[in-house]
């Protein structure tokens, strides 16, 4: 039997570690209430400062007051400025309103980036967050094409993949992630996911009571988003997901690929059975 290479042995070890992590996870994540976001971008600045990310966004796009435009290898938090020709339900003064939303990696319960990584560079931590180990990433880019949200990105400088770590280095010392710590309105809330979900449901009920019937939770659990099995960074929205540049029904590509191959295997098996049956039938006729 051929001995495993060092890379293969490491891959097996990391897969085993992922399985072990699933049995001892303390699930933590983000709840982002977009109705509280004021577009100050304090979260963006705090993220860049703590993670020592390159500065960017100095070019005016001409399309929005938002200068960083989207998440990327050097922008792990992005505050979108959304201009709508729609009045909020509690607003007087015409059919126009602003929405602000701080976007981030969703740390999906079923993560396409993690499942497609061939080197074991992407792991699930003891907090159920999805973390890229930069010293193991080989820059293949499989994770990029398997993220249904277009979050993870390769750096043009070194080719490796980068995204939000949920401040794993801070979490290990029971510290709040930099973005949530800096948020002045508590739009970004961090903590135990079950507690966050309860708080989010109460918030939606309160908004409904106050007349904002359009408020709802996006990606809060597997039932509402089966394609990802739920998000560990979920959102409260007041318009369609597409308005926030979020997919309405995201599906992890590896989920459909496996189902496709399973169907293909059954099809091949069926055709093989028909072929064998035809051969024996032909022999019987002779």
Predicted pLDDT at 282: 61
CA distance to 33, 83, 177, 219, per residue, from 237 (Å): 7, 15, 22, 11
Predicted pLDDT at 26: 87
Tens-digit pLDDT profile for the chain (286 aa)? 556 555 555 455 555 555 554 455 689 999 999 999 999 999 999 999 999 999 887 777 777 788 888 999 999 999 999 988 887 666 677 788 899 999 999 999 999 999 999 999 999 999 999 999 999 999 999 999 999 999 999 999 999 999 999 999 999 999 999 999 999 999 999 999 999 999 999 999 999 999 999 999 999 999 999 999 999 999 999 999 999 999 999 999 987 755 544 544 455 556 666 666 565 566 665 5
Cα–Cα distance, 147 to 252 (Å, whole number): 7
Predicted pLDDT at 265: 46
* Residue 154 falls in which region: left (phi positive, over 0), alpha (psi -120 to 50) or beta: beta
3-state percent helix, strand, coil for the chain, nearest multiple of 5? 35, 15, 45
Predicted pLDDT at 125: 97
Rounded to the nearest 5 degrees, what angle is found at the Cα of 145, between the Cα atoms of 138 and 13?
45
Cα–Cα distance, 285 to 275 (Å, whole number): 15
Query: If you compute the radius of gyration of the chain from its CA atoms, what whole number of angstroms results?
Result: 23
Main-chain phi, psi angles of 6, to 5 degrees: -60, -40
Predicted pLDDT at 6: 55
As annotated, the binding site for [4Fe-4S] cluster includes 37, 40, 43, 47, 105, 108, 113, 117, 137, 140, 143, 147, 164, 167, 179, 183
Which residue carries 């039997």 as its tokens? 1
Classified as helix, coil or strand, 257 is: helix
As annotated, the binding site includes 37, 40, 43, 47, 105, 108, 113, 117, 137, 140, 143, 147, 164, 167, 179, 183
Domain borders along the chain are: 6-251, 253-286
CATH code given to domain 6-251: 3.30.70.20
Cβ-contact 144, 153 below 8 angstroms = yes
């Amino acid at each position: 039997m051929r001995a495993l290479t060092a890379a293969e042995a490491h891959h097996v070890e990391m897969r085993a570690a992922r399985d072990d992590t699933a049995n001892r996870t303390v699930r933590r994540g983000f709840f982002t209430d977009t109705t509280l976001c004021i577009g100050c971008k304090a979260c963006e600045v705090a993220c860049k400062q703590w993670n020592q990310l390159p500065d960017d966004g100095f070019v005016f796009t001409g399309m929005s007051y938002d200068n960083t435009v989207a998440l990327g290898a050097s922008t792990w938090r992005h505050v979108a400025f959304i201009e709508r020709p729609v009045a909020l339900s509690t607003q007087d003064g015409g059919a126009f309103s602003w929405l602000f939303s701080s976007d981030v990696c969703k740390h999906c319960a079923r993560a396409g980036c993690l499942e497609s990584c061939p080197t074991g560079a992407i792991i699930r931590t003891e907090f159920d967050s999805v973390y890229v180990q930069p010293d193991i990433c080989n820059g293949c880019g499989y994770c990029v094409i398997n993220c249904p949200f277009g979050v993870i990105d390769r750096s043009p400088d070194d080719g490796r993949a980068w995204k939000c770590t949920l401040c794993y280095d801070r979490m290990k010392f029971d510290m709040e992630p930099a973005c949530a710590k800096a948020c002045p309105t508590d739009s970004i809330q961090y903590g135990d996911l079950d507690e966050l979900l309860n708080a989010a449901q109460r918030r939606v009920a309160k908004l409904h009571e106050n007349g904002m019937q359009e408020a709802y939770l996006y990606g809060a659990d597997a039932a509402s988003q089966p394609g990802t099995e739920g998000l560990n960074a979920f959102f409260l929205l007041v318009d369609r997901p597409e308005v926030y540049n979020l997919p309405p029904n995201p599906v992890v590509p590896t989920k459909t690929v496996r189902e496709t191959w399973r169907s293909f295997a059954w099809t091949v098996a069926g055709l093989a059975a028909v072929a064998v049956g035809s051969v024996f039938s032909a022999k019987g006729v002779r």
